[in-house]
Amino acid sequence: MELGRKVGHFFCLLKRKYVWLFFLAPAVAVLISIVVFPLAFSLILSFYDWNIIRAGGWSWAGINNYRTILFQDPYFRSSFKVTLFYLAGTVSVQFGLGLVVALILDQITRKIIGFLRTVLVLPITMTPVVVGIIWRLMYNPDLGMLNYFLSWLGFSPVNWTGMPGTALPSVMMADIWEWTPFVALILLAGLQSLPREPYEAALVDGASSWQTFCYITFPLLSPAMLVVLLIRVMDSFKTFDLIFVLTQGGPGMSTEILNYYTYRYGFKFFHLGYASALSWVLLVVVTIICMILIRMLQSRGIYAKRT
């Protein structure tokens, strides 16, 4: 009986002390099953040569997949260049336009600011597939709205997504239209959370609007800027839906970024080992670019570490 009471007391204490495990365990199990296990499995698979439609199963490849990607695959280099161009074009324009829109909305009276915020949210609420379909209809060379306005102005119609020179800018325009409101809303929230005292002091000292922006608004807004830049850089690398709907990587490889190139190798050619290696190279590239971006902002004093 005494032993039974001691065991019961022990389990009672254990239950009280570690009751958080019972609530945390389901979330941890889901996280391991849908995140950790696929991540580890893809890393292991990247060192194998495996084509699911070819007999023979897995064969050890070591670092041959990575060596081929980095030194022997011209299509990877082409996709990498397209990705960098796409990233620079979309993120820079989205950030510039979003900052301008946020500064304008910050000066508007509160009577209509709610309506304008609602209008800004509309493009973000659409899925990228829907955005791609809308812009594909507008880019239609025969019935599209853009060519209608060009013909109305006396210009000849343009095959927006069918020519290498216009296909990538067309995809970038759709991405900019969808995500500039997101950047504007994040920066607007940052602007409206800034303290008023520095602006009052600048007004008393006779600072101009440009000086106030450069020496007060820009430094104080830098944490929000960093957040939105990192989010958009990572999302631009993951772009797939727009390209799949609008161009499917064409014409040629003019719009095939790394994410779509990985999809093509994995789900069209079924080289799953090579596709896994491509996905890990993409992960490393995104991590390096984000670290460089943070270091650049820190070195220029735009973003300071908080202690």
Burial 274-303 (b: 16+ CB within 10 A, else e): bbbbbbbbbeeebeebeeebeeebeeeeeb
Same domain, 125 and 207: yes
Q: Could you tell me the CATH number of the domain that includes residue 248?
A: 1.10.3720.10
- Entry field: residues in the chain: 307
Distance of CA 153 to the CA centre of its chain: 36
Residue 197 in any domain: the answer is yes
Q: What is the pLDDT of residue 98?
A: 93
Same domain, 245 and 110: yes
Range of the domain at 19: 2-40
Tens of each residue's pLDDT in the chain, 307 residues: 555 565 555 556 556 666 667 777 788 888 888 888 888 999 999 998 888 777 667 788 888 999 999 898 899 999 999 999 999 999 999 999 999 999 888 887 666 777 777 788 888 888 889 999 999 999 988 888 888 888 888 888 888 988 888 999 999 999 999 999 999 989 988 988 888 888 888 888 888 888 888 888 888 888 888 889 888 998 888 889 899 999 988 888 899 999 999 998 888 888 889 999 999 999 998 888 888 877 876 665 544 444 3
Residue 183 in any domain: the answer is yes
Answer for the pair 256, 243: CB distance below 8 angstroms, yes or no.
yes
Same domain, 67 and 36: no
Residue 46 in any domain: the answer is no
Angle between helices 164-192 and 218-237 (to 10 degrees): 140
Q: What is the pLDDT of residue 306?
A: 44
Q: What is the pLDDT of residue 168?
A: 92
Same domain, 90 and 192: yes
Predicted TM-score (pTM) of this structure: 0.84
